[in-house]
Structure 1
Protein backbone atom coordinates (compact mmCIF):
# COMPACT_ATOMS: atom_id res chain seq x y z
CA UNK A 1 0.00 0.00 0.00
CA UNK A 2 1.29 3.52 -0.80
CA UNK A 3 0.21 7.04 0.07
CA UNK A 4 1.17 10.57 -0.99
CA UNK A 5 3.11 12.60 1.57
CA UNK A 6 4.26 16.12 0.61
CA UNK A 7 4.29 15.25 -3.08
CA UNK A 8 6.26 12.01 -2.62
CA UNK A 9 5.05 8.43 -2.86
CA UNK A 10 6.04 6.62 0.34
CA UNK A 11 5.53 3.06 1.54
CA UNK A 12 2.91 2.46 4.19
CA UNK A 13 2.98 -0.57 6.47
CA UNK A 14 0.20 -2.98 5.56
CA UNK A 15 -1.66 -4.84 8.30
CA UNK A 16 -2.40 -8.34 7.08
CA UNK A 17 -4.94 -8.83 9.86
CA UNK A 18 -6.94 -5.89 8.46
CA UNK A 19 -7.39 -7.82 5.20
CA UNK A 20 -9.65 -10.47 6.74
CA UNK A 21 -12.99 -10.37 8.54
CA UNK A 22 -11.73 -12.90 11.09
CA UNK A 23 -8.17 -13.90 11.93
CA UNK A 24 -6.74 -17.41 11.83
CA UNK A 25 -8.83 -20.22 13.27
CA UNK A 26 -11.45 -17.69 14.41
CA UNK A 27 -12.67 -17.87 10.80
CA UNK A 28 -13.63 -21.53 11.21
CA UNK A 29 -17.19 -22.66 10.70
CA UNK A 30 -19.23 -23.12 13.84
CA UNK A 31 -18.48 -26.74 14.89
CA UNK A 32 -22.16 -27.44 15.62
CA UNK A 33 -23.10 -26.34 12.09
CA UNK A 34 -20.39 -28.49 10.53
CA UNK A 35 -21.31 -31.49 12.69
CA UNK A 36 -24.96 -31.21 11.67
CA UNK A 37 -23.95 -31.34 8.00
CA UNK A 38 -21.49 -34.22 8.37
CA UNK A 39 -24.00 -36.37 10.25
CA UNK A 40 -26.27 -36.31 7.18
CA UNK A 41 -23.61 -37.67 4.83
CA UNK A 42 -23.33 -41.37 3.94
CA UNK A 43 -20.42 -43.24 5.47
CA UNK A 44 -17.88 -44.96 3.26
CA UNK A 45 -16.83 -48.46 4.19
CA UNK A 46 -13.10 -49.11 4.10
CA UNK A 47 -11.39 -51.31 6.66
CA UNK A 48 -8.12 -49.49 6.03
CA UNK A 49 -9.49 -46.21 7.42
CA UNK A 50 -8.25 -46.29 10.99
CA UNK A 51 -9.31 -42.73 11.86
CA UNK A 52 -11.87 -40.86 9.76
CA UNK A 53 -14.12 -37.82 10.02
CA UNK A 54 -16.68 -39.57 12.23
CA UNK A 55 -14.67 -38.34 15.21
CA UNK A 56 -13.10 -34.96 15.98
CA UNK A 57 -9.54 -36.19 15.69
CA UNK A 58 -6.78 -33.89 14.46
CA UNK A 59 -6.04 -35.92 11.30
CA UNK A 60 -7.12 -38.99 9.36
CA UNK A 61 -5.17 -42.25 9.40
CA UNK A 62 -5.15 -44.77 6.54
CA UNK A 63 -3.48 -48.18 6.74
CA UNK A 64 -1.10 -48.92 3.85
CA UNK A 65 0.42 -52.19 4.99
CA UNK A 66 1.39 -53.98 8.18
CA UNK A 67 3.25 -51.52 10.38
CA UNK A 68 2.79 -48.49 8.10
CA UNK A 69 -0.09 -46.02 7.85
CA UNK A 70 -0.57 -42.56 6.37
CA UNK A 71 -1.66 -39.68 8.58
CA UNK A 72 -3.25 -36.85 6.58
CA UNK A 73 -4.52 -33.38 7.42
CA UNK A 74 -5.29 -30.06 5.78
CA UNK A 75 -5.22 -26.68 7.50
CA UNK A 76 -5.36 -23.13 6.18
CA UNK A 77 -6.55 -19.81 7.54
CA UNK A 78 -6.62 -16.03 7.18
CA UNK A 79 -3.77 -13.85 8.53
CA UNK A 80 -3.34 -14.14 12.29
CA UNK A 81 -0.41 -11.70 12.49
CA UNK A 82 0.69 -8.71 10.42
CA UNK A 83 4.16 -9.84 9.33
CA UNK A 84 3.82 -11.96 6.14
CA UNK A 85 6.88 -14.14 6.85
CA UNK A 86 5.59 -14.92 10.36
CA UNK A 87 2.12 -15.63 8.97
CA UNK A 88 3.61 -18.25 6.65
CA UNK A 89 5.60 -19.79 9.49
CA UNK A 90 2.57 -19.99 11.76
CA UNK A 91 0.38 -21.50 9.03
CA UNK A 92 2.97 -24.21 8.39
CA UNK A 93 3.53 -24.97 12.07
CA UNK A 94 -0.23 -25.17 12.56
CA UNK A 95 -0.71 -27.66 9.71
CA UNK A 96 2.23 -29.79 10.85
CA UNK A 97 0.89 -29.82 14.40
CA UNK A 98 -2.02 -32.09 13.48
CA UNK A 99 0.38 -34.81 12.34
CA UNK A 100 2.48 -34.48 15.49
CA UNK A 101 -0.66 -34.63 17.64
CA UNK A 102 -1.52 -38.03 16.13
CA UNK A 103 1.99 -39.37 16.79
CA UNK A 104 3.08 -39.22 13.14
CA UNK A 105 6.11 -37.92 11.25
CA UNK A 106 5.41 -35.37 8.47
CA UNK A 107 6.98 -36.30 5.12
CA UNK A 108 5.34 -34.18 2.39
CA UNK A 109 2.97 -31.27 1.94
CA UNK A 110 1.00 -29.25 -0.62
CA UNK A 111 0.55 -25.50 -0.16
CA UNK A 112 -2.87 -23.85 -0.35
CA UNK A 113 -3.08 -20.17 -1.30
CA UNK A 114 -5.94 -17.70 -1.58
CA UNK A 115 -4.67 -14.27 -2.61
CA UNK A 116 -6.52 -11.03 -3.43
CA UNK A 117 -5.93 -9.48 -6.87
CA UNK A 118 -5.24 -6.10 -5.30
CA UNK A 119 -2.41 -7.34 -3.05
CA UNK A 120 1.33 -7.00 -3.64
CA UNK A 121 2.92 -10.27 -4.90
CA UNK A 122 5.89 -9.51 -2.63
CA UNK A 123 3.60 -10.26 0.31
CA UNK A 124 2.81 -13.67 -1.13
CA UNK A 125 6.50 -14.39 -1.63
CA UNK A 126 7.23 -13.62 2.02
CA UNK A 127 4.31 -15.74 3.21
CA UNK A 128 5.45 -18.73 1.15
CA UNK A 129 9.05 -18.22 2.29
CA UNK A 130 7.93 -18.29 5.89
CA UNK A 131 5.98 -21.49 5.38
CA UNK A 132 8.85 -23.10 3.52
CA UNK A 133 11.25 -22.29 6.37
CA UNK A 134 9.12 -24.28 8.81
CA UNK A 135 8.54 -27.15 6.40
CA UNK A 136 12.31 -27.34 5.91
CA UNK A 137 12.84 -27.33 9.68
CA UNK A 138 10.34 -30.19 9.98
CA UNK A 139 12.07 -32.10 7.13
CA UNK A 140 8.74 -32.12 5.32
CA UNK A 141 9.02 -31.67 1.54
CA UNK A 142 6.70 -29.19 -0.18
CA UNK A 143 5.91 -30.98 -3.45
CA UNK A 144 3.29 -28.69 -4.97
CA UNK A 145 0.17 -26.72 -4.18
CA UNK A 146 -2.86 -24.86 -5.46
CA UNK A 147 -3.70 -21.16 -5.57
CA UNK A 148 -6.85 -19.15 -6.27
CA UNK A 149 -7.86 -15.50 -6.38
CA UNK A 150 -9.81 -14.77 -3.23
CA UNK A 151 -11.18 -11.72 -1.44
CA UNK A 152 -9.64 -12.84 1.86
CA UNK A 153 -6.00 -13.86 2.00
CA UNK A 154 -5.64 -17.56 2.89
CA UNK A 155 -2.60 -19.76 3.42
CA UNK A 156 -1.92 -23.24 4.70
CA UNK A 157 -0.96 -26.78 3.79
CA UNK A 158 -2.23 -30.29 3.24
CA UNK A 159 0.29 -32.47 5.07
CA UNK A 160 0.95 -36.19 4.76
CA UNK A 161 2.90 -38.14 7.34
CA UNK A 162 3.70 -41.71 8.24
CA UNK A 163 2.74 -43.43 11.46
CA UNK A 164 2.85 -46.79 13.21
CA UNK A 165 -0.79 -47.95 13.13
CA UNK A 166 -0.32 -49.49 16.57
CA UNK A 167 0.82 -46.16 18.05
CA UNK A 168 -1.85 -43.72 16.86
CA UNK A 169 -2.79 -41.06 19.41
CA UNK A 170 -6.45 -40.07 19.47
CA UNK A 171 -7.98 -36.97 21.01
CA UNK A 172 -10.48 -39.16 22.83
CA UNK A 173 -9.52 -41.68 25.49
CA UNK A 174 -8.91 -39.57 28.59
CA UNK A 175 -9.44 -41.67 31.71
CA UNK A 176 -10.28 -40.97 35.32
CA UNK A 177 -7.09 -39.96 37.15
CA UNK A 178 -5.19 -38.82 34.06
CA UNK A 179 -3.04 -35.70 34.30
CA UNK A 180 -3.23 -33.01 31.59
CA UNK A 181 0.13 -31.85 30.26
CA UNK A 182 0.46 -28.55 28.37
CA UNK A 183 3.56 -27.85 26.30
CA UNK A 184 3.00 -24.17 25.44
CA UNK A 185 1.68 -21.08 27.24
CA UNK A 186 -1.96 -20.09 26.74
CA UNK A 187 -3.25 -16.80 25.38
CA UNK A 188 -2.55 -16.65 21.65
CA UNK A 189 -6.24 -16.26 20.79
CA UNK A 190 -6.69 -13.28 23.11
CA UNK A 191 -3.51 -11.60 21.87
CA UNK A 192 -4.20 -12.08 18.16
CA UNK A 193 -7.73 -10.74 18.64
CA UNK A 194 -6.27 -7.70 20.39
CA UNK A 195 -3.75 -7.32 17.54
CA UNK A 196 -6.54 -7.13 14.97
CA UNK A 197 -8.13 -4.36 17.06
CA UNK A 198 -4.79 -2.50 17.47
CA UNK A 199 -4.84 -3.10 21.23
CA UNK A 200 -2.01 -5.63 21.66
CA UNK A 201 1.27 -4.87 23.40
CA UNK A 202 4.45 -5.45 21.40
CA UNK A 203 5.90 -7.86 23.96
CA UNK A 204 2.65 -9.84 23.97
CA UNK A 205 2.62 -10.13 20.19
CA UNK A 206 6.31 -11.13 20.10
CA UNK A 207 5.76 -13.86 22.70
CA UNK A 208 2.65 -15.15 20.90
CA UNK A 209 4.45 -15.25 17.54
CA UNK A 210 7.36 -17.15 19.07
CA UNK A 211 4.99 -19.71 20.59
CA UNK A 212 2.98 -20.15 17.39
CA UNK A 213 6.11 -20.49 15.25
CA UNK A 214 7.56 -23.21 17.48
CA UNK A 215 7.00 -26.68 16.03
CA UNK A 216 5.32 -29.25 18.26
CA UNK A 217 7.86 -31.82 17.10
CA UNK A 218 9.85 -31.67 20.34
CA UNK A 219 6.77 -32.28 22.47
CA UNK A 220 5.69 -35.16 20.22
CA UNK A 221 9.12 -36.78 20.38
CA UNK A 222 9.14 -36.50 24.18
CA UNK A 223 5.74 -38.22 24.34
CA UNK A 224 6.95 -40.94 22.00
CA UNK A 225 9.85 -41.63 24.36
CA UNK A 226 7.38 -41.99 27.24
CA UNK A 227 5.30 -44.27 25.04
CA UNK A 228 8.27 -46.52 24.36
CA UNK A 229 9.31 -46.64 28.02
CA UNK A 230 5.79 -47.48 29.20
CA UNK A 231 5.02 -50.00 26.48
CA UNK A 232 2.17 -47.83 25.26
CA UNK A 233 0.32 -47.69 28.59
CA UNK A 234 0.79 -44.10 29.79
CA UNK A 235 -0.66 -41.90 27.03
CA UNK A 236 -4.42 -42.10 26.63
CA UNK A 237 -5.33 -38.95 24.65
CA UNK A 238 -3.44 -36.22 22.77
CA UNK A 239 -4.51 -33.10 20.89
CA UNK A 240 -3.21 -29.68 19.92
CA UNK A 241 -4.96 -26.63 21.32
CA UNK A 242 -5.74 -24.39 18.35
CA UNK A 243 -8.90 -22.87 16.90
CA UNK A 244 -11.43 -24.06 19.48
CA UNK A 245 -9.31 -22.95 22.43
CA UNK A 246 -8.56 -24.77 25.65
CA UNK A 247 -12.17 -25.50 26.59
CA UNK A 248 -13.23 -26.59 23.10
CA UNK A 249 -10.41 -29.08 22.70
CA UNK A 250 -10.67 -30.25 26.31
CA UNK A 251 -14.34 -31.01 25.69
CA UNK A 252 -13.39 -33.22 22.75
CA UNK A 253 -10.97 -35.15 24.97
CA UNK A 254 -13.60 -35.61 27.68
CA UNK A 255 -16.53 -36.76 25.51
CA UNK A 256 -15.34 -40.32 25.09
CA UNK A 257 -16.17 -42.62 22.19
CA UNK A 258 -19.00 -45.09 22.72
CA UNK A 259 -18.15 -46.95 19.49
CA UNK A 260 -14.75 -47.85 20.94
CA UNK A 261 -15.91 -48.40 24.52
CA UNK A 262 -14.40 -45.15 25.85
CA UNK A 263 -16.50 -43.59 28.60
CA UNK A 264 -16.80 -39.81 29.00
CA UNK A 265 -14.97 -38.12 31.86
CA UNK A 266 -14.96 -34.75 33.60
CA UNK A 267 -11.92 -32.48 33.50
CA UNK A 268 -10.81 -30.14 36.28
CA UNK A 269 -8.44 -27.21 35.66
CA UNK A 270 -6.22 -25.38 38.11
CA UNK A 271 -5.76 -22.09 36.29
CA UNK A 272 -2.92 -21.08 38.60
CA UNK A 273 -0.90 -24.00 37.22
CA UNK A 274 -1.06 -22.75 33.62
CA UNK A 275 1.63 -20.70 31.96
CA UNK A 276 0.20 -17.63 30.24
CA UNK A 277 1.64 -15.33 27.60
CA UNK A 278 2.37 -11.78 28.83
CA UNK A 279 -0.35 -9.18 28.50
Structure 2
Protein backbone atom coordinates (compact mmCIF):
# COMPACT_ATOMS: atom_id res chain seq x y z
CA UNK A 1 0.00 0.00 0.00
CA UNK A 2 1.39 3.41 -0.99
CA UNK A 3 1.92 5.97 1.80
CA UNK A 4 -0.93 8.45 2.17
CA UNK A 5 -0.09 11.90 0.80
CA UNK A 6 -1.94 14.39 2.97
CA UNK A 7 -1.42 17.21 0.47
CA UNK A 8 -3.42 15.25 -2.12
CA UNK A 9 -6.52 16.07 -0.05
CA UNK A 10 -5.83 19.83 -0.10
CA UNK A 11 -6.94 22.31 -2.75
CA UNK A 12 -4.59 24.77 -1.01
CA UNK A 13 -2.39 23.90 1.94
CA UNK A 14 -1.32 25.78 5.04
CA UNK A 15 -2.02 29.50 5.17
CA UNK A 16 -2.27 29.40 1.39
CA UNK A 17 -5.86 28.17 1.83
CA UNK A 18 -6.95 31.41 3.53
CA UNK A 19 -9.71 33.41 1.86
CA UNK A 20 -8.15 36.05 -0.42
CA UNK A 21 -7.75 39.45 1.29
CA UNK A 22 -10.10 41.32 -1.03
CA UNK A 23 -12.84 38.71 -0.68
CA UNK A 24 -12.36 38.55 3.10
CA UNK A 25 -12.67 42.33 3.41
CA UNK A 26 -15.96 42.19 1.48
CA UNK A 27 -17.28 39.39 3.69
CA UNK A 28 -16.36 41.19 6.91
CA UNK A 29 -17.91 44.44 5.69
CA UNK A 30 -21.25 42.61 5.52
CA UNK A 31 -20.97 41.12 9.01
CA UNK A 32 -23.06 42.91 11.63
CA UNK A 33 -21.22 44.48 14.56
CA UNK A 34 -21.87 42.80 17.87
CA UNK A 35 -21.55 44.07 21.40
CA UNK A 36 -18.23 45.85 22.06
CA UNK A 37 -17.63 46.04 25.84
CA UNK A 38 -15.11 48.57 27.20
CA UNK A 39 -12.87 45.72 28.32
CA UNK A 40 -12.29 44.62 24.71
CA UNK A 41 -8.91 46.18 23.95
CA UNK A 42 -8.50 44.63 20.49
CA UNK A 43 -11.27 43.34 18.25
CA UNK A 44 -11.73 43.16 14.50
CA UNK A 45 -11.27 46.83 13.70
CA UNK A 46 -7.53 46.83 12.85
CA UNK A 47 -6.99 43.30 11.45
CA UNK A 48 -4.84 42.30 14.42
CA UNK A 49 -3.63 38.76 15.05
CA UNK A 50 -5.80 38.09 18.11
CA UNK A 51 -8.54 39.53 20.28
CA UNK A 52 -7.48 41.05 23.62
CA UNK A 53 -9.82 41.41 26.62
CA UNK A 54 -8.73 43.31 29.74
CA UNK A 55 -9.25 41.24 32.90
CA UNK A 56 -7.75 43.70 35.37
CA UNK A 57 -4.98 46.31 35.61
CA UNK A 58 -2.27 43.63 35.36
CA UNK A 59 -3.70 41.06 32.97
CA UNK A 60 -5.46 40.88 29.62
CA UNK A 61 -6.63 37.70 27.90
CA UNK A 62 -5.34 37.09 24.36
CA UNK A 63 -7.54 34.78 22.26
CA UNK A 64 -7.04 33.51 18.73
CA UNK A 65 -7.71 30.55 16.48
CA UNK A 66 -6.02 29.20 13.37
CA UNK A 67 -6.42 25.99 11.37
CA UNK A 68 -5.79 24.82 7.83
CA UNK A 69 -5.46 21.92 5.42
CA UNK A 70 -2.18 19.96 5.02
CA UNK A 71 0.89 21.78 3.74
CA UNK A 72 3.09 18.63 4.00
CA UNK A 73 2.49 14.90 3.65
CA UNK A 74 3.98 13.74 6.94
CA UNK A 75 1.12 13.75 9.49
CA UNK A 76 3.22 14.58 12.54
CA UNK A 77 4.94 17.42 10.71
CA UNK A 78 1.54 18.75 9.61
CA UNK A 79 0.41 18.83 13.24
CA UNK A 80 3.61 20.55 14.35
CA UNK A 81 3.37 23.26 11.68
CA UNK A 82 -0.32 23.95 12.33
CA UNK A 83 0.18 24.26 16.09
CA UNK A 84 3.24 26.49 15.75
CA UNK A 85 1.32 28.74 13.38
CA UNK A 86 -1.70 29.04 15.69
CA UNK A 87 0.29 29.86 18.83
CA UNK A 88 2.25 32.53 16.93
CA UNK A 89 -0.70 34.92 17.10
CA UNK A 90 -0.38 35.05 20.89
CA UNK A 91 3.30 35.99 20.65
CA UNK A 92 2.54 38.56 17.93
CA UNK A 93 0.33 40.47 20.40
CA UNK A 94 3.12 40.43 22.99
CA UNK A 95 1.47 37.71 25.04
CA UNK A 96 2.45 34.41 26.62
CA UNK A 97 0.29 31.36 25.81
CA UNK A 98 -1.40 29.53 28.70
CA UNK A 99 -3.44 26.78 27.01
CA UNK A 100 -4.92 25.57 23.74
CA UNK A 101 -7.97 23.74 22.38
CA UNK A 102 -7.62 21.46 19.37
CA UNK A 103 -9.71 21.91 16.21
CA UNK A 104 -9.86 18.67 14.25
CA UNK A 105 -11.65 17.87 11.00
CA UNK A 106 -10.79 14.58 9.30
CA UNK A 107 -12.17 12.42 6.44
CA UNK A 108 -12.61 9.34 8.61
CA UNK A 109 -13.37 7.09 5.64
CA UNK A 110 -10.03 7.93 4.01
CA UNK A 111 -7.47 8.43 6.78
CA UNK A 112 -6.36 5.61 9.10
CA UNK A 113 -6.68 6.40 12.80
CA UNK A 114 -2.92 6.15 13.24
CA UNK A 115 -2.45 8.98 10.72
CA UNK A 116 -4.94 11.17 12.58
CA UNK A 117 -3.24 10.28 15.84
CA UNK A 118 0.13 11.33 14.44
CA UNK A 119 -1.29 14.73 13.43
CA UNK A 120 -2.60 15.27 16.96
CA UNK A 121 0.68 14.16 18.51
CA UNK A 122 2.57 16.60 16.32
CA UNK A 123 0.41 19.45 17.58
CA UNK A 124 0.71 18.27 21.17
CA UNK A 125 4.52 18.16 20.91
CA UNK A 126 4.62 21.85 19.96
CA UNK A 127 2.27 22.75 22.81
CA UNK A 128 4.59 20.92 25.20
CA UNK A 129 7.51 22.92 23.78
CA UNK A 130 5.50 26.12 24.36
CA UNK A 131 4.76 24.97 27.91
CA UNK A 132 0.97 24.77 27.55
CA UNK A 133 -1.65 22.01 27.69
CA UNK A 134 -4.20 21.09 25.06
CA UNK A 135 -7.14 21.30 27.42
CA UNK A 136 -9.94 20.24 25.08
CA UNK A 137 -11.23 20.85 21.59
CA UNK A 138 -13.73 19.82 18.94
CA UNK A 139 -13.71 17.32 16.07
CA UNK A 140 -15.83 16.70 12.96
CA UNK A 141 -15.87 14.36 9.95
CA UNK A 142 -15.10 16.40 6.80
CA UNK A 143 -13.85 15.95 3.21
CA UNK A 144 -10.41 17.59 3.69
CA UNK A 145 -8.12 17.11 6.68
CA UNK A 146 -8.14 20.22 8.88
CA UNK A 147 -6.13 20.79 12.04
CA UNK A 148 -5.36 23.77 14.22
CA UNK A 149 -5.80 25.31 17.64
CA UNK A 150 -7.68 27.83 19.66
CA UNK A 151 -4.85 29.48 21.60
CA UNK A 152 -5.26 31.53 24.77
CA UNK A 153 -2.65 33.68 26.44
CA UNK A 154 -2.03 36.48 28.89
CA UNK A 155 -0.37 39.86 28.47
CA UNK A 156 0.01 43.00 30.57
CA UNK A 157 -2.45 45.57 29.17
CA UNK A 158 0.41 48.03 28.63
CA UNK A 159 2.41 45.45 26.67
CA UNK A 160 -0.21 44.71 24.02
CA UNK A 161 1.33 45.37 20.60
CA UNK A 162 -1.39 46.29 18.09
CA UNK A 163 -1.29 47.06 14.38
CA UNK A 164 -2.63 50.51 15.18
CA UNK A 165 0.28 51.57 17.39
CA UNK A 166 3.13 51.86 14.86
CA UNK A 167 4.71 55.32 14.62
CA UNK A 168 6.12 57.40 11.79
CA UNK A 169 9.89 56.99 11.75
CA UNK A 170 9.75 53.40 13.00
CA UNK A 171 11.94 50.83 11.30
CA UNK A 172 10.59 47.43 10.28
CA UNK A 173 12.28 44.21 11.42
CA UNK A 174 11.34 40.83 9.91
CA UNK A 175 12.15 37.76 12.00
CA UNK A 176 12.00 34.89 9.46
CA UNK A 177 12.88 34.69 5.75
CA UNK A 178 10.17 34.52 3.08
CA UNK A 179 9.45 31.60 0.76
CA UNK A 180 7.50 28.93 2.66
CA UNK A 181 4.57 29.06 0.24
CA UNK A 182 6.87 28.57 -2.73
CA UNK A 183 8.47 25.57 -1.03
CA UNK A 184 5.02 24.10 -0.40
CA UNK A 185 4.18 24.55 -4.10
CA UNK A 186 7.43 22.80 -5.04
CA UNK A 187 6.56 19.97 -2.65
CA UNK A 188 3.17 19.42 -4.30
CA UNK A 189 4.92 19.30 -7.69
CA UNK A 190 7.33 16.65 -6.38
CA UNK A 191 10.34 18.95 -6.79
CA UNK A 192 11.36 19.60 -3.18
CA UNK A 193 14.28 17.43 -2.06
CA UNK A 194 15.09 16.35 1.49
CA UNK A 195 17.33 19.35 2.12
CA UNK A 196 14.64 21.78 0.98
CA UNK A 197 12.02 20.00 3.07
CA UNK A 198 14.22 20.21 6.16
CA UNK A 199 14.70 23.93 5.51
CA UNK A 200 10.95 24.42 5.21
CA UNK A 201 10.30 22.46 8.40
CA UNK A 202 12.94 24.39 10.35
CA UNK A 203 11.24 27.71 9.70
CA UNK A 204 7.61 26.57 10.04
CA UNK A 205 8.13 24.81 13.38
CA UNK A 206 10.20 27.56 15.04
CA UNK A 207 8.01 29.12 17.74
CA UNK A 208 7.83 32.92 17.71
CA UNK A 209 8.05 33.01 21.51
CA UNK A 210 10.53 35.90 21.23
CA UNK A 211 7.44 38.10 20.72
CA UNK A 212 6.66 38.19 24.44
CA UNK A 213 10.25 39.35 25.05
CA UNK A 214 10.15 41.97 22.32
CA UNK A 215 6.98 43.47 23.81
CA UNK A 216 8.99 44.41 26.89
CA UNK A 217 11.26 46.72 24.86
CA UNK A 218 9.87 50.24 25.22
CA UNK A 219 10.72 51.19 21.64
CA UNK A 220 8.67 48.34 20.15
CA UNK A 221 5.36 49.86 19.08
CA UNK A 222 3.61 47.26 16.93
CA UNK A 223 3.94 43.60 15.93
CA UNK A 224 2.25 41.16 13.63
CA UNK A 225 3.18 37.80 12.16
CA UNK A 226 3.51 37.27 8.42
CA UNK A 227 1.18 34.47 7.32
CA UNK A 228 -1.29 33.89 4.50
CA UNK A 229 -1.42 37.40 3.02
CA UNK A 230 2.36 37.53 2.59
CA UNK A 231 4.74 40.25 3.76
CA UNK A 232 3.04 43.02 1.79
CA UNK A 233 -0.45 42.08 2.95
CA UNK A 234 0.38 42.00 6.64
CA UNK A 235 2.51 45.14 6.45
CA UNK A 236 -0.39 46.89 4.75
CA UNK A 237 -2.59 45.94 7.72
CA UNK A 238 -0.11 47.75 9.98
CA UNK A 239 -0.09 50.75 7.65
CA UNK A 240 -3.87 50.93 7.59
CA UNK A 241 -4.21 50.40 11.33
CA UNK A 242 -1.64 53.10 12.10
CA UNK A 243 -2.54 55.39 9.16
CA UNK A 244 1.02 55.39 7.84
CA UNK A 245 2.95 54.62 4.66
CA UNK A 246 5.84 52.16 4.40
CA UNK A 247 9.03 51.75 2.43
CA UNK A 248 10.62 48.31 1.97
CA UNK A 249 14.09 47.64 0.57
CA UNK A 250 13.92 44.41 -1.40
CA UNK A 251 17.66 43.79 -1.09
CA UNK A 252 17.30 43.66 2.72
CA UNK A 253 14.35 41.27 2.88
CA UNK A 254 15.56 37.84 4.09
CA UNK A 255 14.67 35.02 1.69
CA UNK A 256 14.89 31.24 1.91
CA UNK A 257 17.60 30.34 -0.59
CA UNK A 258 15.86 27.25 -1.96
CA UNK A 259 12.62 29.18 -2.37
CA UNK A 260 14.40 31.96 -4.25
CA UNK A 261 15.73 29.44 -6.76
CA UNK A 262 12.24 28.01 -7.31
CA UNK A 263 10.72 31.50 -7.56
CA UNK A 264 13.17 32.38 -10.35
CA UNK A 265 11.85 29.33 -12.21
CA UNK A 266 8.26 30.54 -11.86
CA UNK A 267 7.15 28.25 -9.02
CA UNK A 268 4.45 29.98 -6.95
CA UNK A 269 1.14 29.35 -5.22
CA UNK A 270 -2.21 30.45 -6.53
CA UNK A 271 -2.65 32.35 -3.25
CA UNK A 272 0.24 34.64 -4.19
CA UNK A 273 -1.65 35.88 -7.26
CA UNK A 274 -4.87 36.25 -5.24
CA UNK A 275 -2.99 38.26 -2.63
CA UNK A 276 -1.67 40.67 -5.26
CA UNK A 277 -5.12 41.03 -6.81
CA UNK A 278 -6.46 41.94 -3.37
CA UNK A 279 -4.00 44.64 -2.37
CA UNK A 280 -1.80 45.41 -5.40
CA UNK A 281 -3.31 48.89 -5.93
CA UNK A 282 -1.90 49.92 -2.52
CA UNK A 283 1.65 48.84 -3.43
CA UNK A 284 4.21 50.54 -5.69
CA UNK A 285 6.98 48.27 -6.95
CA UNK A 286 10.21 49.61 -8.36
CA UNK A 287 10.33 48.95 -12.09
CA UNK A 288 13.62 47.09 -11.70
CA UNK A 289 12.02 44.37 -9.56
CA UNK A 290 11.43 41.06 -11.31
CA UNK A 291 8.18 39.04 -11.22
CA UNK A 292 9.85 36.40 -9.02
CA UNK A 293 10.58 39.07 -6.40
CA UNK A 294 6.95 40.15 -6.39
CA UNK A 295 5.98 36.50 -5.94
CA UNK A 296 8.13 36.28 -2.81
CA UNK A 297 6.69 39.49 -1.36
CA UNK A 298 3.14 38.17 -1.78
CA UNK A 299 4.00 34.54 -0.96
CA UNK A 300 1.67 33.12 1.71
CA UNK A 301 3.76 32.23 4.73
CA UNK A 302 2.65 29.40 6.97
CA UNK A 303 3.98 29.96 10.49
CA UNK A 304 5.95 32.95 9.22
CA UNK A 305 8.09 35.42 11.10
CA UNK A 306 7.22 38.35 13.32
CA UNK A 307 7.17 41.77 11.69
CA UNK A 308 8.16 44.38 14.26
CA UNK A 309 7.68 48.14 14.07
CA UNK A 310 10.08 49.85 16.46
CA UNK A 311 11.89 53.12 17.05
CA UNK A 312 15.17 53.31 15.13
CA UNK A 313 17.19 53.41 18.35
CA UNK A 314 15.50 50.20 19.53
CA UNK A 315 16.34 48.20 16.39
CA UNK A 316 19.65 46.97 17.80
CA UNK A 317 17.95 45.57 20.90
CA UNK A 318 15.25 43.93 18.78
CA UNK A 319 17.81 42.25 16.51
CA UNK A 320 19.80 41.10 19.55
CA UNK A 321 16.69 39.46 21.05
CA UNK A 322 15.97 37.73 17.74
CA UNK A 323 19.53 36.47 17.49
CA UNK A 324 19.55 35.21 21.08
CA UNK A 325 16.33 33.28 20.35
CA UNK A 326 17.85 31.57 17.31
CA UNK A 327 16.36 33.71 14.51
CA UNK A 328 19.51 34.03 12.43
CA UNK A 329 17.84 35.69 9.43
CA UNK A 330 16.17 38.62 11.26
CA UNK A 331 16.82 41.91 9.49
CA UNK A 332 15.74 45.55 9.22
CA UNK A 333 13.82 45.71 5.93
CA UNK A 334 12.31 49.19 5.80
CA UNK A 335 10.57 51.96 7.67
CA UNK A 336 7.25 53.69 8.27
CA UNK A 337 6.51 57.25 7.13
CA UNK A 338 3.71 59.80 7.40
CA UNK A 339 1.23 59.44 4.56
CA UNK A 340 -1.77 57.56 3.26
CA UNK A 341 -1.57 53.78 3.85
CA UNK A 342 0.59 52.56 1.00
CA UNK A 343 3.76 50.51 0.51
CA UNK A 344 6.64 51.39 -1.79
CA UNK A 345 9.17 48.63 -2.55
CA UNK A 346 12.53 49.71 -3.93
TM range (shorter): 0.7 to 0.9
Alpha-carbon distance in structure 2 between the residues aligned to 1:243 and 1:98: 13
Matching residue of 1:268:
247
TM-score for both structures, normalised by structure 2: 0.71
- Structure 1 residue 221, shift from structure 2 partner: 4.1
- Find the counterpart in structure 2 of residue 83 from structure 1: 74
Within 5 Å, give how 1:2-151 maps onto structure 2: 2=1, 12-40=2-30, 41-117=32-108, 118-151=110-143
User: Are 2:160 and 2:215, in contact at CA under 8 Å, matched by a contact in 1?
Assistant: no
Q: Which moved more, 1:191-200 or 1:144-153?
A: 191-200
Q: Equivalent residue of 1:159, what SS? A: strand
**2:229 aligned with 1:244:** yes
Within the alignment, does 1:199 sit opposite 2:191 as a pair? yes
Q: Deviation of residue 186 (structure 1)?
A: 1.3
Aligned-residue offset at 1:14 = 2.0
Q: What are the Cα deviations for residues 85-122 of structure 1, in whole angstroms up to 9, with x where unaligned?
A: 11111111001000000001100110000100211111
Task: Report the counterpart of residue 283 of structure 2 in structure 1.
Answer: none
Moved more, 200-209 or 181-190: 200-209
- Residues 83, 126 of structure 2: 8 Å contact kept: yes
Q: Secondary structure at the match of 1:181?
A: strand
Aligned residues: 256
Aligned to 2:178: 186
- Contact (CA 8 Å) 1:71, 1:161: kept in 2 or not? yes
TM-score for the superposition, normalised by structure 1? 0.88
CA deviations over 1:28-55 (Å, ceiling 9, x no partner): 1122222223223123131111101122
Q: SS of the counterpart of 1:255?
A: helix
Q: Which moved more, 1:41-50 or 1:54-63?
A: 41-50
Once superposed, what is the RMSD of the aligned Cα atoms? 1.4
* Structure 1, unaligned runs of 5 or more: 3-11, 257-261
Give 1:246 shift. Answer: 0.8
Partner secondary structure for residue 237 of structure 1? strand
> Per-residue displacement from partner, 1:201-253 (whole Å, max 9, x unpaired)?
33222101111001001x2144134x1xxxx3x11211101111111111111
Equivalent residue of 2:118, what SS? helix
- 3-state SS of 1:126 partner: helix
Does the CA contact (< 8 Å) of 1:203 and 1:278 recur in 2?
A: no
Q: Cα distance, 1:167 vs. partner?
A: 1.0
Q: 1:159-194, CA deviations, whole angstroms, 9 ceiling, x for partnerless residues?
A: 111111111001233333211111112110111122
2:168 to 176, 186, 210: 176
